[in-house]
Structure 1
């Protein structure tokens, strides 16, 4: 199908001088015509991170507004939440995916190291970032239980219900995102799936020489999808996943994720 690919191609051409400026900057003053997308690219980050650092609930910004562009995910925050003995303190809004990505781990490895059987975590929990695999635990860590108030705290962010780890061939791939919500897009995939009829359909474009069309594939951070589309730029260990809107495609950006071919 003809589709619009929203990829962070700009990250491959942002040179050393710009990167160095972004790394040292802490705040940014919004200029007339600025967008969160443009600001995030100038500062080598993502729209979602900028919104999180500044407690923004929408993409609306104003000229002369001060935005933090190197906040809670920068080295300073990491030092505050990651101790010298390799443990991380869960912050409000954290997910296992965010924590694992920040520290170069997969979600499965992080869960195995801490003996977790589900993706549910709580603000204040202490997670080990390295070490031997522990036995699976269905309860919260003992330290978190000791600090718990009489009323059970709400989870930092609840993801999908606990599931068994997917079984099948696992690959590490580069993942971008696209949407059928674009001018000139037919909305019909290479295998005939009408994405306009179901904007929430979990469909990925693949290289059929790597992932057979029609396969069910579990994508880390996205869920179980069908390999139902192809694309001219989708070659080798590269996938393009369908999301409902253009803004969600931009928020996804370009990531390296683990996938499991289920059948």
Structure 2
């Protein structure tokens, strides 16, 4: 009888150790199931598509059944970056609001979480503490280099004879303003290409209203978002679209392949009115 009791407890200990090992493994990795996508996995585990791609070194949204994915930042990464606190994004949050709440800077939040833009969504987990990011001091240096009042007066006195000798050569006010007007109307710099553009809404048949990167378009009808082919335009990029404005490449589509984009508009009537156009775009980052 004693031998049976000892054997029972030994078996229980072994089962407990194996169960603990499986729990530890499941806490760090997720096995991709048939029909899974990065977006559905991010929603299930309270993270974002961008973080999943970063933790797993993915260059695209393509995943395969039985693939093992990290669903949280490894402890080694947290230790390296000295990350102590995690904040779960709530509805109505912005990086600026979160930075004010925790007494940090927006650029620090972007650096700690490896974000490519200011875009965040409810349920996303953000590190709110880490290694400080140096603050630029160019404005301070510029102020300190300005000449003292006595130097300004001397410069004005030296330049006065030149102004009196040739007043007619000074540019008229309209001519002086011309360069500034030209700069304001100039289009942003970036990788330019010509694409075929169509439009879509958040209320089409079978649409959830949530993009491939987690943007809720029904809650943000004024958001400028375009669907792209990630092999041509990386998801998360800022793109200037002729006649539409600067948008986030935040969605994909089965028919969006190659040099094609789909611009988001609030209503079906606007989508129908938009039609099919050939437009120029510039990928800004």
TM-score, normalisation: structure 1: 0.39
Indicate the structure whose relative CO is greater, using CA pairs within 8 Å and at least 6 residues apart. 1
TM-score, normalisation: structure 2: 0.36
Greater share of helix: 2
Q: Which has the higher Rg, Structure 1 or Structure 2?
A: 2
